[in-house]
Amino acid sequence: MLVMSLDEQESDFVAHEPCPACGSRDNLARYTDAHGYCFGCGYYEHGDQPIEVEETSASGLIPIQYSPLNKRGISEDTCRKFNYGTGIHNGQPVQVANYRNEEGEIVAQKVRTRDKSFSVLGEGRGLGLWGKHLWGEGGKKIVITEGEIDALSVSQAQNNRWPVVSAPSGASGAAKRKFK
């Protein structure tokens, strides 16, 4: 277990929480220095004590770090909002999209290698729309993209304000499934 102090300049994402200002279900991102930021309304909360963070994943999922996807023009904030990051899998650098169940728990990861091959770690059967957990229920419009990076791009173009999700297995797989 790693304990981060308040003195450290950098902090890493820990979890999503409900926002006390706008009431969103999980737009408030909590970081290792205990500060919080809501990507829905911009609410900011100063951290007052360090929090503990697991260094490795007991579930076999890849621990990820957040950074911008410079070749795609996608910011680190967008990657953090969608829980899309980078990690190491089988000794190779990879990009990782975390998939959540209906309760908001990370249950699977879609792993993308440099040669654009994909694999799924965790509970890969019946994955829902990627990013759905960010937007709650209802709404008038939603954009459904073919891939996670497409979803990041479209969301960022809309200042991460409007619902954008991705089909877990591209357009051909989505055509065969019914999503809630």
Residue 6 lies in a domain: no
Residue 97 lies in a domain: yes
163 and 130: one domain?
Answer: yes
pLDDT string in tens for the chain (180-residue length): 333 333 334 666 777 777 888 877 777 787 767 788 888 888 888 776 444 333 334 468 899 999 899 889 999 999 999 999 999 888 888 999 999 988 888 999 999 988 888 888 988 777 889 999 898 877 788 999 999 999 999 999 999 999 999 998 765 544 444 555
75 and 164: one domain?
Answer: yes
Range of the domain at 26: 11-51
Q: How far apart are the first and last CA of the chain?
A: 37
24 and 111: one domain?
Answer: no
The whole-number pLDDT of residue 170 equals: 63
Residue 56 lies in a domain: no
Those residues whose C-beta lies under 8 Å from the C-beta of residue 39, and which sit 6 or more positions away, are 27, 29, 77, 80, 81, 160
User: Residue 62, class by beta-carbon neighbours within 10 Å (0-12 exposed, 13-18 middle, 19+ buried)?
Assistant: buried
Residue 102 lies in a domain: yes
Those residues whose C-beta lies under 8 Å from the C-beta of residue 149, and which sit 6 or more positions away, are 69, 72, 74
The whole-number pLDDT of residue 18 equals: 79
Q: Rounded to an integer, what distance in angstroms lies between the CA atom of residue 115 and that of residue 152?
A: 20
The whole-number pLDDT of residue 50 equals: 46
Residue 98 lies in a domain: yes
156 and 125: one domain?
Answer: yes
79 and 160: one domain?
Answer: yes
